[in-house]
Amino acid sequence: MYDIVLWYYDDYCIESDKEKSVTFFSEMSIKFEQKLNLKKYNAYCIDSVCSKAWFPKNELELLTIYDKNPDKKKIIIGNGNNIILSKKYYEEEFIILNDCFNVIQIIENGMTAEAGATLQQLSGTALLNSLSGLEIFYDIPSSVGGAIVMNAGTKDGEIKDIVIKVRYLDLADMRVKEIAKEKIEFGYRNSFFQKHSNNIILKAWFNLRKGNQVDILKKMEQCKEKSLVRIEICHIPV
């Protein structure tokens, strides 16, 4: 059992005294696969095997993976749409967030989402809860983490327009920190996280407004073929 300090920044990134300790679980309880072919985890379906792939299902499991194996280099995959696997075999361990690290919650002024949630899941959940602001992201293949790293968007808007703050693990000091939107240095397909890859995005807060489901769906349909929208939103859990 190990302890790690969680160090929270307030909304304006001023260091606060809200420190607390967390006790890790054993890494044995975390899902992993040895010698995994990553073909189905990258959009280009490249055949590439990694020594080990982890599938954390919550923040504590993700922190534990880093804590227990500090010397082993790790590569994060969100939804795998912006990575090219150039090697047949990777000695590095992969951490796959897609489909496991993806809890979405409704909050007073919008939504929170773990880094592995997809923008499709996010905008679908917003629709079901009559929340507007995510419509244009329905058609962008991305996880929340990947979208923040590169400030994903279209000519109609970018993820920076709705981010409130982001929680991340700083591997330099193994502390969990929160950074407000104003400090994320968002630019065209760029951000603080693009420039400082030693930080793992854990969770993001999004500012949304109440809207009309019909209008939200109409806007989503403009971004996506009608048939796909109708079929998929019916199956997205709230």
Ligand X SMILES: Cc1cc2nc3c(=O)[nH]c(=O)nc-3n(C[C@H](O)[C@H](O)[C@H](O)COP(=O)(O)OP(=O)(O)OC[C@H]3O[C@@H](n4cnc5c(N)ncnc54)[C@H](O)[C@@H]3O)c2cc1C
Q: Total binding residues for ligand X by CB under 6 A? A: 27
Q: How many CB atoms lie within 10 A of CB 64?
A: 22
Pick the closest to residue 171 from 4, 1, 3 (CA basis): 4
How far is it, in rounded angstroms, from Cα 220 to Cα 128?
Answer: 12
Pick the closest to residue 3 from 74, 56, 69, 63 (CA basis): 63
Does position 82 bind ligand X by CB under 6 A? yes
Does position 150 bind ligand X by CB under 6 A? yes
Does position 204 bind ligand X by CB under 6 A? no
Pick the closest to residue 5 from 18, 20, 26 (CA basis): 20
Does position 83 bind ligand X by CB under 6 A? yes
Options 53, 122, 140, 233; binder of ligand X; rule CB under 6 A? 140
CB nearer to ligand X: pick between 152 and 220? 152
Sole window of 11-19, 49-57, 79-87, 207-215 interacting with ligand X (rule: CB under 6 A): 79-87
Does position 81 bind ligand X by CB under 6 A? yes
How far is it, in rounded angstroms, from Cα 125 to Cα 57?
Answer: 19
Buried b vs exposed e over 115-128: b needs ≥16 C-beta within 10 Å? bbbbbbbbbbbbbb
User: 113 in helix, strand or coil?
Assistant: strand
Options 141, 161, 175, 207; binder of ligand X; rule CB under 6 A? 141
- Residue span 21-60 as binding mask against ligand X, x where in contact by CB under 6 A, dash where not: ----------------------x-----------------
How far is it, in rounded angstroms, from Cα 224 to Cα 136?
Answer: 9
CB 52 within 8 A of CB 33: yes
Does position 122 bind ligand X by CB under 6 A? no
User: What residues from 90 to 109 belong to the interface with ligand X (CB under 6 A)?
Assistant: 97
Does position 76 bind ligand X by CB under 6 A? yes
Options 120, 121, 142, 191; binder of ligand X; rule CB under 6 A? 142
**Interface ranges with ligand X (CB under 6 A):** 43, 75-83, 97, 115, 140-143, 145-147, 149-150, 152-154, 193, 200-201
